[in-house]
Structure 1
Amino acid sequence: MPASLSIYGAGRLGQTLAKLWHQQAYFDIQQLYCRTQSTCLDARDFIGAESAQCLSNSDALSSSDIWLVSTPDSAFANACESLKHIIRPGDIVFHCSGALSSSELNRLQAQGAFIASIHPLHSFAQPAQSLTQFAGSHCAYEGDAEALAALLPAFEQIGGHCFAIEGNKWLYHAASVIACNYLAPLIAASHQAFAAAGIDQQLADTLLQPLLSGTLENIRQQGPANALTGPIARGDHDFVTAQWQALENNHSQLAELYRDMAKHTTRLALQRDNSEELNAKLQKLRGIFEE
């Protein structure tokens, strides 16, 4: 008989994981807790676990073998307060925060629960899409061995590739944010620059798709520094300053972003095995952007 799983805060992440496990009958989805009953009912409909209880009153919660706390990170303390009266020795409680460790659940560990944190490197913006895209996602884990012994096979069953995280989770999560969350504003800035050049967003997306996919593949094969192309990689002072000036004349905020990115790109270009002539050009560019 599968272990019972209850979810405290059945948002996009919680719904997605629960449905993936429910589809494979890996866990018995027992309880869903949300702030409103309508949200909870919608979550249950998405998951498809018709027998799961929908609760919006934490006092009505009952015991469960495993608890997923998938509230915002700032609400972990409230979740522990709500669960403290039903946690039994040997129960498993975990969260999926990328920045916070399992120690956020220490209050429940003190009552005999085994705790863990498992963070999938995956965007859950659209749960319906995540159902087909989750497989292959890497999941950073840490916590009690007893909790991990039960949870890691569950994530692997739905296609997760689990790896231990032992360093600073804030730095780990910052790395993820830079690569994922900061890409969206960079693309938005690119759209703005294209629009200023008279190119609409639909065409801009068509132009960007092969550039982005090709760049990612080059980075995978060669590493970030060696994958660099374009005017900074060539040390083309006149070309870069002309672009910067064109942005300054049309959109000062884009020009500021261009300058910041050019500064980091120049530093990266200097890490390559360049000729003395190219390094001299890059140092000249670096002086302009870091002055």
Structure 2
Amino acid sequence: MRVGFVGAGKVGCSLGKYLAEQKTQVSGYYSKSPQSARDAAEFTKSNAFETLEAVIEESDILFLTVPDGQIAPVWEKIKKYPIHGKMICHCSGSLSSKIFYDIEKTGATGFSIHPLLAVSNRHESYSEIPKALFTIEGSPQGIEAMEAFCREKNLQVQRIAADVKTRYHGAAVMASNLVLGLLACAQSELEQCGFTQENAKKALEPLVTGNVERYLQTSAVDALTGPIERADVQTVERHLHTFRDLHARIYRDLSLEVLEIAKGKHPHRDYHQLYEILEEK
């Protein structure tokens, strides 16, 4: 199978490099930026195509690694070419394969294939791809073949339904981007206590890594400690009186979620007072 890419950014470069190292024939890249296509081609030892038609012709599987807002316009162009028997994929987390709404008329198959991975560097992130789970959904007549291709390339694959893509992507955002927002809140509060930025990060490191490691090894219920878990009403009240505005709202809302975890850990513990103070507006 020859694999080509429309778009030569971080995801396209990373996936292309990984597939090339898995002995896949990477045909190359087409991009609105010819320089980006040349850079990606050099990185993956493949070709930089000057036209969309050329990369389509030279590829059996075509990945659209472009911004979400460009997937539909690119598809409108692709479907005008002979693509019978080809597999057309995009890598959006929130959009489904339904964006290829009339693909069955072309004789091609369409898929969304998304890595649960923060792809932050176009020349380094490929090394983290083996750790990532790829979710896949798409044309029923080709889904098993696409899954087989992914597994042949040593990718972890999970099939999902098209209508849950938005929820799935939102969950991924919670676990990655929003965690950074929460850490920034904690760091800001520590800086108000006199910590330097660097010392605040050092102080938070064992808390963050310890909790994440325990969660991954066991469960949220088993990993949970702290004032919510032990129903320490006075401490929680002091926190709520100390934090202001956005940080207070974040503390209150996340504490309500943690309270549900605490109830699972201690079903007979009385959390009634905590509910009352956390639900106050």
Runs of 4+ with >6 A deviation: none
Q: What is the one-letter code of the residue matched to 2:85?
A: G
Q: 1:16 to 1:9 in 2, by over 3 A?
A: same
Q: Which residue of 2 aligns with 1:269?
A: 262
What CA distance in whole angstroms lies between the structure 1 residues aligned with 2:148 and 2:122?
A: 22
Gaps of 5+ in 1: none
Per the normalisation by structure 2, the TM-score is 0.89
Q: Which residue of 1 aligns with 2:276?
A: 287
What CA distance in whole angstroms lies between the structure 1 residues aligned with 2:149 and 2:206?
A: 36
Q: Which residue of 2 aligns with 1:23?
A: 21
Q: What is the one-letter code of the residue matched to 1:238?
A: Q
What CA distance in whole angstroms lies between the structure 1 residues aligned with 2:197 and 2:153?
A: 36
Task: Identify which of 120, 123, 132 aligns with 1:128.
Answer: 123
1:93, 1:114 within 8 Å by CA — same for their partners in 2? yes
Alignment of 1:1-291 (within 5 A): 3-30=1-28, 32-49=29-46, 52-55=47-50, 58=52, 62-63=56-57, 64-144=59-139, 147-166=142-161, 168-248=164-244, 252-275=245-268, 278-279=269-270, 282-291=271-280
1:267, 1:286 within 8 Å by CA — same for their partners in 2? no
Q: 1:66 to 1:260 in 2, by over 3 A?
A: same
Taking only aligned residues, the RMSD between alpha carbons, in angstroms, comes to 2.2
2:113, 2:134 within 8 Å by CA — same for their partners in 1? yes
2:228, 2:258 within 8 Å by CA — same for their partners in 1? yes
What CA distance in whole angstroms lies between the structure 1 residues aligned with 2:70 and 2:257?
A: 36
Q: 1:120 to 1:90 in 2, by over 3 A?
A: same
> Which deviations, in whole Å up to 9, do the C-alpha atoms of 1:161-205 show, x marking residues without a partner?
111113622222221111112111011111101111111222222
What CA distance in whole angstroms lies between the structure 1 residues aligned with 2:215 and 2:56?
A: 49
Name the SS of the counterpart of 2:228 in structure 1. Answer: helix
Structure 1 window deviating more from structure 2 (183-192 vs 5-14): it is 5-14
Gaps of 5+ in 2: none
Q: 1:158 to 1:181 in 2, by over 3 A?
A: farther
Deviation of residue 211 (structure 1)?
1.6
Structure 1 window deviating more from structure 2 (264-273 vs 120-129): it is 264-273
Name the SS of the counterpart of 1:174 in structure 2. Answer: helix
Q: How many residues align?
A: 278
Deviation of residue 144 (structure 1)?
2.8
Per the normalisation by structure 1, the TM-score is 0.86
> Which deviations, in whole Å up to 9, do the C-alpha atoms of 1:115-141 show, x marking residues without a partner?
122111111112333222111211111
What CA distance in whole angstroms lies between the structure 1 residues aligned with 2:134 and 2:201?
A: 30
What CA distance in whole angstroms lies between the structure 2 residues aligned with 1:186 and 1:254?
A: 9
> Which deviations, in whole Å up to 9, do the C-alpha atoms of 1:12-48 show, x marking residues without a partner?
1111111111223312323x12222222223223333
Percent identical across equivalent pairs?
27
